[in-house]
Amino acid sequence: MASPNPQRELTLRGLLLGALITVVFTASNVYLGLRIGLTFASSIPAAVISMAVLRLMGGGTLLENNMVQSQASAAGTLSCVFATFPGLIIAGFWTHFPFWQTAGLSFAGGVLGVLFTIPLRRALVTQSSLPYPEGVAAAEILRAGADRSNQRGLQALISGGVMASVFSFCSGGLRLLGDGLNLTASAGSAVFQLSAAFSPALIGAGYLVGLSGGMAMLTGCILAWGVGVPWLTSLLPNPAHLPPAQFAQDIWLHKVRFVGAGAIAIASLWTLIELMPPVLRGIRTMLQRTTGQTATTDKDLSARTMGGLMVGAMLLLAGFFAAFLAPVAHGFWPIVGVAVVFCVVFGFVMAAACGYMAGIVGSSSSPISGIIIIGAVLCALMILALEALGLTPDAMMADGQKLATAFTILLLSAITATIAISNDNLQDLKTGQLVGASPWKQEVALIAGCLVGAAVIPPVLNLLYQAYGFTGAMPRPGMDPAHALSAPQPALITLIAKGIFTHSLDWTMLCVGMGLGVGLVVLDLGLRRRGQALPPLGVAVGLYLPASVSLTLACGAILGWVLKRISRNRQATSTTGQSSPEGGSTGTMLASGFIVGESLTGVLLAVLSGATGRDNAFSLAAFVPQNVPAILGTLGFGALCWAFARKTLRTP
C-alpha cells in the first residue's frame, strides 16, 4: 500500500520526535524491568503519539509515522539490557554504571541485532506466511489513523499516565498512600503470607499480558507462598528467631526462589525446543532465497554499509571488552577475540531464532529470558574452556572467580542487546512492508533508535540504583530495603554465573525446580489438548518474582479479561453488532499510560532523591496517623482500578 505522500518518510523532525519518545519509553521500560522483570511493547503508544504530534505540526504521513514508531520501538526494546548490566553491581564488581561502557556495549550489540535481521527480512517477512501479530496490529493502527481515533488514543494514554503519576507520587513521594498490603499468619510453625502491591504499572502490565499469562503467574505465586514457604518454614529451623514475616521472606529468598530458577530453566528450554523445527526451517529458507538474489525495489542497506557497520560494531565490542579487563588483568586479548566472535556467531543464530519466534507468537511473548539464561550458561562454559586451555588471564579465576563472573555478565549484556533488537526489528519490518515503507530507511531509523536508547540507559540505571538500590545490593547504608527494585533477571543471571564458577549453587532446590518445570510442561501439554493453556514459563516466573508483583499483575490480567468480556457482550447485544476500533484500543492505551506514568514518576523521584541525598525527602507520613496511609492506599488503588474500568468501557 503506497503512502499518499511517499516522499515524506525519513525526516529530521521524525528522527527528533522519535528520539524524544525514545527517552520516555526507554526510561519506563528500564524501571519496569528492574521492578518486575517485564517490559511493555512501545510500538503502538509511539505510533499514536507520533500521529497526534505530526498532525499538529502539519504534513505528517503514514510512512513518517512508521519511521517514528520504528525508532522508538527499537530503543524501548534495547532497554532489555536491564536484565544483565545490574548483575555487575549485584556481583560486587561495579559501584555504578559507567556511561561509555554501558552505552557503548548496548549500542554495539543493538547494531549487530539490526544487521542480523537484514538478511532475514526477505525469508522471514516478505516471503513468509508468519503472522507477526504485533507488527500487523501496528500497521492497522497506522492505516486507521483518522483524526478522532488518534486523538482518543492519545487522550487515553495521557489520562492513564496522569492518574498513575498522581497516585505514584502520593505513594512513593509524599508517602500519604500505602504502597501495598502485607498479611502474615501462622499455623503451628508454618508461615503463610499474602502480599499485594498498589501499583498502576502492574495493573497495566497485567492487562497487556492477558489472562493466560496472568493466571500462570498467579499459579506460581500460590505454589511459592501457599505451598513452598509454609512447608519449608514448618520443616526448617529458625535459629535467629526472626519474626514470622521476616522468616518467610528469608525462606523464599534463599530456598523457594531457587526452585523458581530451576523451573525457569526447564520451561525456557522447552519453549526453545518446541520452536526449534520452525526456526530451522526459517533459516534454511533464508539461505535458499538469499542465494543469487537480484535487486528489487525493497532495497536494504548496501553491502558496503552493512560491512562497515559490522566491522565498527565488532571493534567497539573488542575495545570495551579490553577496557573492562585492562585495569585488572594482563594477557586478555585471546579471550577478547573469542568473546567478540562468540557475540557474532551466537548472536546471529539467536537473531534467526528470535525473529522466527517473534513471527509466530509476537515479540512480547518470545522467551528472551530463557535465551539469556542459556546464553549465561554458554558464556560461563566458554570461559571455563578457555581457562582449561590456558587462554585466560590469571586474575580471571582469582578472588572467588569474581572477574570471571563479571566478564560473563558483560559479554552477555552485548548479546542481550543483539537478540532483543532482532526479536523486535522483524516486527517493525513487517509493519513497514504492510504500509509500503522503504526497508533501508527503516533500518536507518532502527539504528538511530539504538543510538538514542543506548545513551538513555546508563543515566536511568544510575538514577534508579542510587534512589532505590537493588535487592541484595544497596548503594548507601540505612536505605529501606522494602523499596529496593527486585531486579529479578540480573539476580538470577548473577546467581547462575557465580554458581557455575564457584560450584555454590543450591542444587537441591534447583533440581526440585527442574522437576517442577517438567511437571508444568506435561500439564500444559495436557491442557492444550482441551483447548486451554498454562504457560510453564509464566508459572516459573510467578515462583521467582515477589508475591506482591505476581498477585497484582494477575489482578490486572483478570480485570482485563472481565472488561473485554463485558465489552464483547455489549457488542453482541448492540443494534449494529460492530465494535468501535477506537473503543477497542482504549484499554490498551490506558494500560500503557499506567505503565509510563508510574515508571516516569519513579525516575523523577529517583532524580529528586539523588539531588537531595534522601529517599524520603518529600515524605509527609510523619504528619498522619500510622494506619492512615494503608487505608488511604487501599481506597485510592481501588478507585484507580474503578476509573480504569469505567474509561475502558465508556462508549465513544
pLDDT tens-digit profile of 110-151? 999 888 888 777 666 776 666 665 666 667 667 655 444 456
Run of H or E including 71: helix 62-78
* Residues facing 425 on adjacent strands: none
40-49 pLDDT tens trace: 666 667 777 7
Q: What is the pTM of this model?
A: 0.71
Q: Are 456 and 27 in contact (CB under 8 A)?
A: yes
The predicted structure's pLDDT at residue 577? 46
* First-to-last C-alpha distance (Å) of the chain: 29
User: What is the rounded distance in angstroms from the CA atom of residue 31 to the CA atom of residue 464?
Assistant: 7
Residue in 356, 347, 372 with CA at minimum distance from that of residue 33: 372
Confidence of residue 68 (pLDDT cuts 50, 70, 90): confident
361-412 pLDDT tens trace: 555 545 576 678 778 888 888 888 888 888 888 777 666 578 888 999 999 9
- Average pLDDT, integer, range 62-81: 79
- Grid cell, residue 422, equals 532482532
DSSP for 536-589 reads: HHHHHHHHHS-HHHHHHHHHHHHHHHHHHHHHHHHHHHSSS----HHHHHHHHH
- Grid cell, residue 590, equals 490506558
Close Cβ partners of 109 (under 8 Å, ≥ 6 residues apart): 81, 313, 317, 343, 347, 413, 414, 415, 416, 417, 418, 421
Residue in 343, 410, 383, 390 with CA at minimum distance from that of residue 109: 343
Q: Length of the chain, please?
A: 652
The predicted structure's pLDDT at residue 280? 63
What backbone phi and psi angles, to 5 degrees, belong to 454? Answer: -65, -35
User: What is the rounded distance in angstroms from the CA atom of residue 341 to the CA atom of residue 345?
Assistant: 6
Q: Are 70 and 139 in contact (CB under 8 A)?
A: no
**43-57 vs 581-612: helix crossing angle, rounded to 10:** 90
Close Cβ partners of 167 (under 8 Å, ≥ 6 residues apart): 177, 198, 200, 598, 636, 637, 640
Can you say whether the dihedral through the CA atoms of 333, 335, 336, 338 is positive or negative?
A: positive
What does the H/E/C string look like for 17-52?
HHHHHHHHHHHHHHHHHHHHCCCCCCHHHHHHHHHH
Cα–Cα separations (whole angstroms), residue 437 to 359, 447, 448, 624: 19, 16, 17, 57
193-241 pLDDT tens trace: 888 888 888 888 788 777 887 888 899 999 999 999 999 998 888 877 7
User: What is the rounded distance in angstroms from the CA atom of residue 450 to the CA atom of residue 74?
Assistant: 6
The predicted structure's pLDDT at residue 145? 58
Q: How far is C-alpha 195 from the geometric centre of its chain's CA atoms?
A: 23
What are the residue ranges of helices labelled H in 362-479? Answer: 368-388, 402-435, 439-468
Confidence of residue 85 (pLDDT cuts 50, 70, 90): very high
Of the CA atoms within 13 Å of residue 58, those in its CB half-sphere come to 0
Q: Are 352 and 308 in contact (CB under 8 A)?
A: no
The predicted structure's pLDDT at residue 296? 43
Percent of the chain scored above 70 by pLDDT? Answer: 80
Given a cut of 80, whether residue 562 has pLDDT beyond it is: yes
Q: How far is C-alpha 325 from the geometric centre of its chain's CA atoms?
A: 28
Domain-wise residue ranges, the chain: 12-151+272-287+304-483
The predicted structure's pLDDT at residue 58? 73
User: What is the rounded distance in angstroms from the CA atom of residue 86 to the CA atom of residue 34?
Assistant: 9
The predicted structure's pLDDT at residue 136? 66
Cα–Cα separations (whole angstroms), residue 520 to 30, 219, 237, 510: 30, 11, 30, 15
Cα–Cα separations (whole angstroms), residue 637 to 164, 198, 552, 561, 632: 10, 6, 11, 19, 8
